[in-house]
Structure 1
Amino acid sequence: MTEEAHNFLSKKNIVIGLDAKSRDDAIRQLAQVLERNGTVTDANAFAADVLKRESMTTTGIGHNIAIPHGKSKSVKQATMVFAKNKTPLEWHSLDGSKVQIIFLMAVNPDDPSKEHLRILAKLSGKLVDDDFVDEIKKENDPARLLKIFADEEE
């Protein structure tokens, strides 16, 4: 895994057993995680930016997975949170499925690096691989999940 990709997802940004009650609640809770981890300066502002983006078109890509993302001035460093919610959430997914797997991407609009686009493209490519999706759905150990993502990068 490249150094940039490795910095993009870290153990502290893996949340197993998220207990969100709605899409908006999930985004707000994960924004708080990013604020606690120091990559977002204002969780509320970031969540508002993500929800604004979400109102334009759903990020529920199907197969119980969503990739919400937002460009926000409150993002200090491009990053991603991987979360599994305890219960399926309504997300207006393209295939009508409820979401339990969430990849929340955080990007600063002034970041000249397009690393997040490369990561998003790689992630999107992996998410069409049924074996990869099955693995991340079954695995609940953050270290093992990081290894699955790392293996997929090589």
Structure 2
Amino acid sequence: MSHPLITADMVALDLTSDDRETVTRQLIDLMAAQGRVTDAEGFHADVRAREAQMATGMPGGIGLPHARSEHVSVPSLAVGRVPGGVDFGAPDGPATLVFLIAAPAGGDADHLKILAALARRLVHESFRTSILEAADGGTVAEIITREVVTS
């Protein structure tokens, strides 16, 4: 990929909302500010449509909203830490880590590669802990760039 999957500017360390829509929108706004999402409203509608099909919460305090969209210019990942938790429908309760995956509409392979690579890392408590304890967005982006291999 010519663009990194994630940058420090696409990490929010202390999101305070307990509303899934608000948290998702804050992460979309980070992507839009980096020029990776061309229409934040349109992409949010695509993410909501995907969420309506099946909850994207995973055990271990993880929210994994994702969508392919014509409003996404380059495969991207935004990360939010939500210390108070937000409900993404996981069986074990609220998510304290939210990973928003955005892929261009024609990017089926990219979307699935990112989702699979991230899911493989998220089952490891040490990976989740390293994200939760990272001091800044740059460290989070560095950990994900190193650990989530999509090639």
TM-score, normalised to structure 1's length? 0.87
- The CA deviation string for residues 68-125 of structure 1, in whole angstroms up to 9 with x for no partner, is 00111111111110111242112211x231011010011111237x233222211111
Matched, 1:108 2:104: yes
Aligned partner of 1:133 among 108, 116, 128? 128
1:29-48 equivalent positions in 2, closer than 5 A? 29-48=26-45
Q: CA deviation at 1:28?
A: 1.5
Counterpart residue identity of residue 36, structure 1: A
Please tell me whether the aligned partners of residues 65 and 101 of structure 1 are also in contact (alpha carbons under 8 angstroms).
yes
- Aligned partners of 1:20 and 1:29 also within 8 Å: no
SS of residue matched to 2:44? helix
Count of matched residue positions in the alignment of Structure 1 and Structure 2: 149
Give the percent of matched residue pairs that are identical in Structure 1 and Structure 2: 27
Matches within 5 A, 1:65-144: 65-93=62-90, 95-111=91-107, 114-144=109-139
Unaligned runs of 5+ in 1: none
Structure 2 gaps, min length 5: none
Contact 2:61 2:94 in 1 (8 A): yes
AA aligned to 1:128 is V
The letter of the residue matching 1:147 is E
Secondary structure in structure 2 of the residue aligned to 1:8: coil
**How far off its partner does 1:21 sit?**
3.3
* 1:8-47 superposed Cα distances (whole Å, 9 cap, x missing partner): 1111111111232301111122112211111111111111
- Conserved in 1, the CA contact under 8 Å of 2:36 and 2:72? yes
CA distance in 1, matches of 2:106, 2:30: 22
Indicate the SS of the match to 2:117: helix
The TM-score, its normalising length taken from structure 2, stands at 0.88
1: CA distance, partners of 2:117 / 2:3: 13
Q: How does 1:9-48 map to 2 (within 5 A)?
A: 9-48=6-45
Distance (whole Å) between structure 2 residues aligned to residue 86 and residue 22 of structure 1: 13
Distance apart, 1:130 and its partner CA:
1.6
